[in-house]
Chains A and B, each alone.
Chain A
Amino acid sequence: MNVAMHLGLLRTMLLIRRLETAWADAYFQEEIGGIPPALSTGQEAVSAGACAALEPGDYVFTTHRGQAPQVARGLDPKRIMAELYCRRTGYNKGKSYHVTDVTRGVIGMGGIVAGQVPVAGGMALAQKLGRSDRVSMAFFGDGASNEGAVHETANLAAMWTLPLILLCENNGYCVTQPVAVAVKAVSIADRAAGYGLPAAVVDGNDPLVVYDAVAAAVARARAGGGATLIEAKTVRLGGHLAHDPQSYRSKEELAAAWEQCPIKRMRERLLAEGLLTAEGYARMEAAVEGEVAAAVEFARQSPFPEPREAFDDLWA
């Protein structure tokens, strides 16, 4: 058993949670405005586990709920937060909160649901044509799974044996719509058979299970075995966006969902297995809090872009 890896996954999940909480706080305190934050609260295990199975040179394409994979791939929380505060020091220079860091293989494409999936297929095509053994991974939601773009890409990836991981993060909802009234199939991964792709359905609230499934898909893709569809079943604990009061979910449903909180589950397991102590967890929390506080401070101190910068970066 790899203790460091297990602790690392817990820490990643905690950093995602706390960084996003600070982002939501900034929104509620009206330090930032505009479209409200899309938080990954409850879904941290998917990004933590999936990104741990990747290496430098691999790419992920994120959704509107994109901060979790940014953190999980090791992006600098300071520059993530600066972008969320619309500052020039943010990764995208204040242009878009779908944070991108090409050097770390994170492409932020959250504006149009499912828009990132065909593009991830294209990056996988470039990786294949370039004869590298690198892979691409497209995050997409249960809602996005009903877009034509996903189906077309799955077929293309199957036909062209692309090194692509189609990672469906099924959090049970598309805004207010439960997945049960949007998808007739028993599971989204069931569709893989129709495309001729291998598939797996995994517990998306256990980062180790997600890791194992993605690692297997990555190994297959690196070896030239093509694409895989993975459905990670998870739970959205917060609203669709931070301001959503979730009037369409019952108290009981939410209470049950919180029982499945991936951070709670992982912490309790590591404590039970003796791999983590209460003091050790407190130290981890304190370190994470320090990192988040520094990120917020960095964002606050950073300047806004100048108006003329609106016209930069349109053309290559």
Chain B
Amino acid sequence: MFDRRLFRPGGPVPQREREWPSFRGAINEAMREEMRRDPAVFQMGEDIAGASPFGVTARLVTEFGTERVRDTPCSEVAVVGAAVGAAMGGMRPIVEFQFGDFLSVAIDQLTHQAAMLRYLTGGQVKVPIVIRLPCGGGQGAGSQHSQSLYSWFAHAPGIKVALPATSMDAKGLMKSAIRDDNPVLFFEHKALYRTRWPAPAEFRDPNHVIPFGRAAVRRIGDDLTVVATLTMVHHALAAAEALAKEGVSVEVIDPRTLVPLDTETIIQSVRKTGRLLAVDEAYLTCGIQGEVIALVTEHAFQALKVAPRRLGNPGVPVPFAPPLEDAVLPDQERITSAIRDMVSA
């Protein structure tokens, strides 16, 4: 469904950007608008002023200069820590990681410092930072450049987690992230960067934001609820489309943020359909899929007609060779077959 050509040439097509903004262009636009609006917003990251790997910060330096678009040395602990301190000092830093996996290097600064300082100081400080994390597999980028690690961080108290799946959401959620007074992790699936999505009129409105904690019902259906994020939203929609021809009606819910999570919309949906499939690239064990299922089971157990199911990486590093990589990631086909099993059970 998504091509593997992430690193191949194939630049932006500016004339199409207006009607069909690209995912990466949408994030760029959100950051640009917020930097214009609020002088406290600034950026730090490796090669973000020069040539960042996926071009999300392209040309920001021309408008805002190297004071506000700061190239950093390869020092993730110092940079995340600097973001935390600068945020306490009244700034609103945005930090780019070249690949989200590398946040592992700076976890203490995030989970123990950024995320806990407000609580530990009895509410005296706030830490408004955004950390941008390219994530996801399917690109032949290797095990340490392909993960979807939000379950690690949703587990830690004090961190918000955004997972945009379209250009519109990328822009609106990024603006909310920047305006939020808490640490926000913003996960950007690499396969989405070059995709283009139709933009409603409000896409151009610099005051339009998409609030955290509100799921998008991407497709309405009666027989089964799929909860999916990032690229899996699109795999699920394609599966739903195909299954409609077989008379199976699938509802697809994209939570858009994991923290806060719109449990209400998910539970409502399962009360209607009686079936729940949670799909994500996250490792299954202690993954976000299990959290969704637990919430539904706690709140709507009586509504369930069959046992909920989850799809995800079964628990191996995302391997380098394409046939191995395909073996560990969920896709349209696996979603379709899981849904078939569940509705015929």
Contact = CB atoms under 8 A, between A and B. Distances in A.
A148 B77 CA distance: 7
Contacts of A311: 314, 316, 327
Given A33-B4, A34-B320, A311-B316, A177 B71 contact: yes
Interface in A91-129: 92, 94-98, 111-114
B143 A96 contact: yes
Contact of B51 (A148, A247, A308): A247
A93 B98 CA distance: 27
Nearest to B8: A243
Interface in B257-294: none
B321 A95 contact: yes
Contact of B73 (A96, A174, A243): A174
Given A175-B47, A310-B328, A33 B140 contact: yes
A3 interface: no
A126 to B, nearest CB: 24
A310 B75 contact: no
Interface string B47-86: 1001101000000000000000001011111100000000
Interface in A238-263: 241, 243-244, 247-248
Interface string B122-161: 0000000000000000011111110000000000000000
Interface in A2-59: 33-36
Interface stretch (A67-75, A139-147, A164-172): A139-147
Nearest to A146: B73
A242 to B, nearest CB: 9
A35 B314 contact: no
A35 B140 contact: yes
A95 B324 contact: yes
Interface string B94-135: 000010011011000000000000000000000000000000
A55 to B, nearest CB: 31
Interface residues of A, number: 43
A260 to B, nearest CB: 23
A183 B74 CA distance: 10
Nearest to A109: B144
B50 A176 contact: yes
A242 B74 CA distance: 20
B142 A111 contact: yes
B136 to A, nearest CB: 14
A33 B322 contact: yes
A194 interface: no
Interface string A175-189: 111000111000000
27 contacts: A33-B4, A34-B142, A35-B139, A35-B145, A36-B7, A86-B320, A86-B321, A94-B323, A95-B320, A95-B321, A96-B143, A96-B319, A111-B145, A112-B101, A146-B73, A147-B74, A147-B75, A181-B71, A243-B7, A304-B323, A305-B323, A305-B324, A307-B323, A310-B316, A310-B327, A311-B316, A311-B327
Given A95-B321, A174-B73, 5 more contacts: A34-B320, A94-B323, A248-B50, A307-B324, A310-B324
**Which 3 residue pairs across A and B have the least CB separation, nearest first?**
A34-B140, A111-B144, A94-B321
